[in-house]
Amino acid sequence: MFGSIAALCAYAAEHSPFYARTLRPVRSWDDFYSLPILTGDDLRRHVNADGTGDLLTGPTRGSLVVSTSATSGARKIVHREFADQHRVSEGLAMAMRLAGFTADDRIANIFPPGGLLAAWIGAHEAIEKLGATLLPLGTTLPLDVDEQVKLLTCLRPTAIISAPSTLVRLIEGGLPPIPSVLCGGETLSPETRAFMEKALGAEIALVYGNVECGTLGVQCEALRRTQRYHVLARDVFIEIVDPVSGMPANEGEILVTHLHRRIQPLIRYHVGDRVRRVDSPCGCGLALPVIELEGRVEELEVVIGDVSLSADQVVAAVRDVPGIGERFQMRVQCLNKGDQVKILFEGEGASAETVRAALLGREPALRALEDGGALVIEVVKRGAIPTTLAGKTPRIVDERLG
């Protein structure tokens, strides 16, 4: 492993002006761990869609150009070799097999082609590798829920791959049960998982990855109903570091070094997720390391004044309120009189006051925001909370970050 990483660093330093400035010779693990962390802002500043940018190592012929969804900031451009895109597909095919998909399935790919483009293409190729029947039903957004449900009902898939937010909207629109389900692109809360599994009559398997790095982790049957994943160690080297000290830790933020990327090397890339290392062996027998995903760093909690509020706290507070759906969003703004958090809930038949009472009853600390006029609760119709081009619904949108 170290030899591959050292060779990657040497190649990047020789061919990329950005890495020539930022990398030092890597002769030991200590040398590697002392290298600077690559950030999303580095990609934004040093990689362009037209194939220019000093982080790139040369001409981008023979590559796929994709962008992130801008869910957590301005878009990042990624140039990925076709060979590496095939590795993404192989990882997705492995995730599908572990989810119970077979060659006899009729698999609906409803990742939106305009957003999670790499996942949309990868799922197509993965279904081809399985030898199954492909139903390419992904649609650009905004999602026409009624039409998509009609089409899925007509074509009768036996398996489906999707972002959870998209699937929730389809379920609320009347999607009939589907035997096998694979989701990716977002963290799935226990409450939303229970809602989806009851509606679909299927146990949901998850796949972990992102546009920049490709497929990072898959779930075997033993890891289902958890946030744990087997890391695809053949493709990526994972570090977990303490966010304050930057030192290796068993729990912290994840850094990814892609072992095969050459046009746009990713070396110690800060993904933006918080994870925990799992040292106990998995009962499935796969000889792959296991990590537990705790969530996006920016979606774990938000601080308004002296009050810290997490999305999981909101979920727990309103889970028993009749008429409230699975989709909600916290929007934090900086107004003239100070910060304000507006929490939108999709639902029918529930009042904002009922939701407010449930929140304050479960989280008394919110009373300070309430008394200061900094807490706004709204119940909106189903489908009113916008979905990003990637088919996601970010649970926290902090507009103070610009």
pLDDT band at 331 (very low <50, low <70, confident <90, very high): confident
Residue 302 clears pLDDT 90, i.e. is over it: no
Q: Where are the domains of the chain?
A: 81-296, 301-401
DSSP structure class, residue 38: B
Q: Which pLDDT score, from 0 to 100, does residue 69 have?
A: 67
**Nearest 5°: CA angle at 232, between 230 and 234?**
145
> Long-range contacts: 200-206, Cβ < 8 Å, 24+?
200/167, 200/171, 200/175, 201/177, 202/177, 202/178, 205/95, 205/98, 205/99, 205/100, 205/181, 206/182
pTM, two decimals, is 0.78
* Spatial separation of the C-alpha atoms in residues 140 and 6, rounded to whole Å: 41
pLDDT band at 104 (very low <50, low <70, confident <90, very high): very high
Burial category of 21 from C-beta neighbours within 10 Å (exposed 0-12, middle 13-18, buried 19 and up) = exposed
Residue 164 clears pLDDT 90, i.e. is over it: no
Share of residues in the chain with pLDDT > 70 (%)? 92
Beta carbons of 219 and 228 less than 8 angstroms apart: yes
Share of residues in the chain with pLDDT > 90 (%)? 47
Average pLDDT over residues 294-306: 69
Average pLDDT over residues 356-360: 87
Q: Which pLDDT score, from 0 to 100, does residue 307 have?
A: 76
| Tens-place pLDDT, residues 23-34 | 999 999 999 999
> What superfamily in CATH does domain 81-296 come from?
ANL, N-terminal domain (3.40.50.12780)
Q: Which pLDDT score, from 0 to 100, does residue 47 have?
A: 95
Domain 301-401, classified CATH 3.20.20.60, yes or no: no
* Spatial separation of the C-alpha atoms in residues 84 and 59, rounded to whole Å: 16
Average pLDDT over residues 211-227: 91
Beta carbons of 256 and 236 less than 8 angstroms apart: yes
pLDDT band at 336 (very low <50, low <70, confident <90, very high): low
Average pLDDT over residues 108-113: 86
By residue count, the chain amounts to 402
